[in-house]
Amino acid sequence: MKLSNIFSKRNRVLLRELVSTDFKLRYQGSVLGYFWSLLKPLFMFAVLYIVFGHFLRVGETVEHFSIYLLLGIVMWSFFTEATNQGLASIINHGDLIRKINFPKYIIVISGSLSALINLGLNLVIIAVFMFINGVQLTWGALLFPIYIVELYAFALSLAFFFSAAYVKYRDVSHIWEVILQGAFYATPILYPLSLVINEAGTFIAQLLMLNPIAQIIQDSRHALITHQTTVMGDLTSNILIQAVPFVIVIVSAVFASYYFKKHSAYFSENV
Amino acid sequence: MIQNEPAVIVKDVSKTFKIPLDKATGVKQALVRFARRKKGYRNFKVLDDISFEIKKGEFFGIVGRNGSGKSTLLKLLAGIYVPDKGLIQVNGTLTPFIELGVGFNPELTGKENVFLNGALLGFSRKEVEAMYDEVVEFAELGEFMAEKLKNFSSGMQVRLAFSIAIRARSDVLIMDEVLAVGDADFQKKCFNVFRQLKKEGRTIILVTHDMGNVERFCDRVLIVDKGAPVSITTPSKAAAIYARLNIDDTKPSEVNTQGKEISRWGTGGIRIKDLIIKSPKKSVSPILNFEDDFKITINLTKEKGFEDKSFDVGLAFINQDNVTVAGPNSSLDPIDPSAESITFSVDKLPLQPGDYTVTVAIIDRETSEAFDFYDRATSFHVVSDKPAQGVVAIGGKWSKK
């Protein structure tokens, strides 16, 4: 899986065709077509605004709480979409894999890219709301692209691992579904982390923040929306503990590429 | 470029598949198997130590029956499978057409599918744009390209796929069974393309069942059977070898599949014990060369009281198209009633190459009822390395008036 190969002309063309096919098919037959990609986060924002702004007042202490929520949910949705699409991508393209030889990782990347495009559209909506709500941007916002890269790298790593494992073990999709459901509540997405500190103590909060997704979402909120966001640095000064989420991302990237490479030669037989 | 440099080298290639033993493939099963230290699969050797070379510019045929391993070989050549052992080397680029229209999506339009399929075959967008008009014209689909593929007839889809396929500019092309598609007109076009490709000196590997196409195009043919190469030879010789292979494992009942079920009835008393057709080669059913002498021996069992009953024997030779090509009968040439074994022979059997079944009837001479009517009791095959037309060979001579 050399980087130069990923960007070779042939693979680039193929990647583009696969992503565009995916997009064409996604809104196939719907009247509003691509607009759905923008409408969905809009509706979600409306719901969040009403529910959390007027009924469930969990985040009253946090400024711009609806946008704070929306950003977390959008990033989480990207994570689930990218991993789920990646997970099924090899099996779904079994037909191709059995009949033509091409680098298999292109399929996994194409699945994650369409999720990434969706994330981009969602972020545009968020930017609009941030402007309307009068969120003050700081220089820290420049860190946000780094967190997106980290998020993408983590999601892609898991996608590579799951897609290869799924060829052999069809339980993988169910296991991952269950894990995602649990992880959604174990990640400070709907509630501010300060709530956890108050209710369960700093140790539990630290534990939750070891999860790369939690770290990425909190850091992104911190960078873009409000410095009231609790980040790892607020919980511990130990640099080693602060490094854990990044180490997890790097280790999973290395392991996933090894695992995928080892098994991809036999996809055509097993798929 | 050296003229005699091989385009493809296959050396000592073996391939084994792991066939899962239980249907469920899950984590639980894997854990159970691991705990019991049991293998969850059995090994199935599809190709065993196969070696050959294909020269540059050669039109190379690969023939084999279902399950012979030819498709696996093809996928190995195409790089879809990885060999367990051995080496496959392709000098130059290779485009496989294991199936036409790989990646075709019914929800996309004809045009979108051309670009998608083109990308899979390794074309850039520009290249596809450049050849697009040609593709549409060759496929004769001008006004349909903006419609979704699901609205295309299967023939139209195949035409479109083939039109893209033949534009692959690779040094080596692999074609699998793609000839058997389309109407006669389109087939003719395809054949012209093949001739053209051959003229251009491209290396083409054709995998097929159809010996007719092999003879029409191929320079050399590899016959595979049971995972091993049987021989590499000329198309005309291959036809005969291939026919023999097909015959060897055919059970008599399978010969009958195109026709009726095997049935046997009669009043009894005299019954057919067995039938023996003389043939130069031992196999499940006998194989004769074209115009060999034919000899069938019918052995009978007779019940008490039937030892001296007079009877007739009728035979019917039925070809693979269910046509009775001959029906010799002993009524004009009475048999000794005490006979327990009867032989019918023909010098230089004039039947054309093909599969034949023989129906045998033992008829009561007095009542004309059947003692034993054995429908499609046995079968035999006629092979030839010469092309043949029609049902029988009438011989004859050509001369100047």
Which tens digit of pLDDT belongs to each residue from B77-135?
Answer: 988 899 998 999 988 888 887 777 778 888 889 999 999 888 888 888 888 898 899 88
Q: pLDDT tens digits, residue range A118-158?
A: 899 899 989 998 998 888 888 889 999 999 999 999 999 99
Are residues B25 and A13, on separate chains, in Cβ contact within 8 Å?
Answer: no
Note whether A262 contacts B: Cβ–Cβ < 8 A.
Answer: no
Q: Do B80 and A268 touch (CB under 8 A)?
A: yes
Residue B387, CB half-sphere, CA atoms under 13 Å: how many? 8
How many beta carbons lie within 10 A of that of residue B150, not counting itself?
10
Q: Which residues of B touch A269 (CB under 8 A)?
A: 17-18, 81
How large is the C-alpha radius of gyration of chain A? 20
The Cα-based distances of B319 to A125, B258, B329, B381, B391 in angstroms read: 75, 10, 18, 10, 8
Question: Could you tell me if A91 lies within 8 Å of chain B, comparing CB atoms?
Answer: no
Q: Give the CATH number for residue B335.
A: 2.70.50.60
Cβ contacts of residue A200 below 8 Å, gap of 6+?
none
Among A154-168, A231-245, B208-222, B280-294, the range of highest mean pLDDT: A154-168
Are residues A259 and A160 in contact, defined by beta-carbon separation less than 8 angstroms?
yes
Q: Is residue B371 part of a domain?
A: yes
- Facing residue for B81 by CB, picked from A102, A171, A268: A268
Residues B204 and B315 in one domain: no
Domain shared by B198 and B111, yes or no = yes
Q: Which of A9, A96, A175 sits opposite B120 (nearest CB)?
A: A96
Compute the distance between CA of residue A68 and CA of residue A63 in angstroms, rounded to an integer: 8
A94: DSSP letter = H
pLDDT of residue B250: 45
Q: Which of A61-75, B45-59, B270-284 has the lowest mean pLDDT?
A: B270-284
Residues 2-41 of A with CB under 8 A from B: 9-10, 13-14, 16-18, 21, 24-25, 28
**A17, B115: Cβ pair inside 8 Å?**
yes
Residues B188 and B284 in one domain: no
Record: contact A171-B75, CB cut-off 8 A: no
Q: What is the pLDDT of residues A154-177, one digit of tens each?
A: 999 999 999 999 998 889 999 999
A133-147, B252-266, B366-380: least confident range: B252-266
Exposed, middle or buried, B383 (CB in 10 Å: 0-12/13-18/19+)? buried
Please tell me whether residues B117 and B194 are part of one structural domain: yes
Distance CA A151, CA B299 (A): 83
Nearest to B102 among A16, A100, A169 (CB): A100
Looking at B213, B248, B283, the residue that finishes a domain is B248
Note the pLDDT of residue A43: 85
Asked if residue B354 and residue B259 are part of one domain, the reply reads yes
Query: SS3 for A20?
Result: helix
Helices and strands: H and E segment counts in chain A: 14, 0
The per-residue pLDDT for A49 is 77
Strands B341-346 and B324-326: unpaired
Residue range(s) defining the domain that contains residue B322: 252-383
Please indicate whether, in this complex, the C-beta atoms of B96 and A98 are within 8 angstroms of each other. Answer: no
Q: Structurally, how many domains does chain A consist of? A: 1
Q: Look at A113 and B185; give whichever has higher pLDDT.
A: A113
What is the C-alpha to C-alpha distance for residues B99 and B158, in angstroms, rounded to an integer? Answer: 10
Subunit contact B123:A266, Cβ cutoff 8 A:
no
Look up residue A98 and give its amino acid: R
**Residue finishing a domain among B211, B227, B248:** B248
A168 contacts B108? CB cut-off 8 A: no
Predicted pLDDT of residue B251:
40
**B163 and B187 in one domain?**
yes
Q: Choose the mutation target among B116, B174, B175 for the interface with A, i.e. most A CBs under 10 Å.
A: B116
Establish whether this prediction's ipTM goes over 0.90.
Answer: no
Residue B36 is assigned to a structural domain of this protein: no
3-class SS of residue B336? coil
CATH of residue B235's domain is 3.40.50.300
When divided into structural domains, chain B yields a total of 2
User: CA-CA distances (angstroms) from residue B207 to B98, B200, B217?
Assistant: 9, 20, 12
Amino acid, single-letter form, for residue B228: A
pLDDT band of B164, cuts 50, 70, 90: confident
Identify which of A186-195, B153-162, B220-229 has the greatest average pLDDT: A186-195
What is the C-alpha separation between B47 and B84, in angstroms, rounded? Answer: 10
Higher pLDDT, B57 or B65: B57
What's the confidence (pLDDT) of residue B283? 57
Given a contact cutoff of 8 angstroms between Cβ atoms, the answer to whether B44 and B72 are in contact is no
Listed residue (A168, A245, A178, A239) closest to A208, CA to CA: A245
Per-residue confidence (pLDDT) for residue B180, from 0 to 100 = 56
pLDDT of res. A7: 64
- CB-CB contact of A178 with A254 (8 Å): no
Which three-class secondary structure state does DSSP give residue A200? helix
Residues B177 and B209 in one domain: yes
Residues of chain B that touch chain A, judged by Cβ-Cβ distance less than 8 Å: 17-18, 25-28, 30, 75, 78-82, 96, 98-99, 102-103, 105, 107-108, 112, 115-116, 119-125
First-to-last alpha carbon distance for chain B, in angstroms, is: 55
Segments forming the whole domain that contains residue A56: 3-270
Look at residue B23 and tell me whether its pLDDT is greater than 70: no
Q: Calculate what percentage of chain A has a pLDDT beyond 70.
A: 97
Is A179's Cβ below 8 Å from some Cβ in B?
no
Percent of chain B with pLDDT over 90: 10
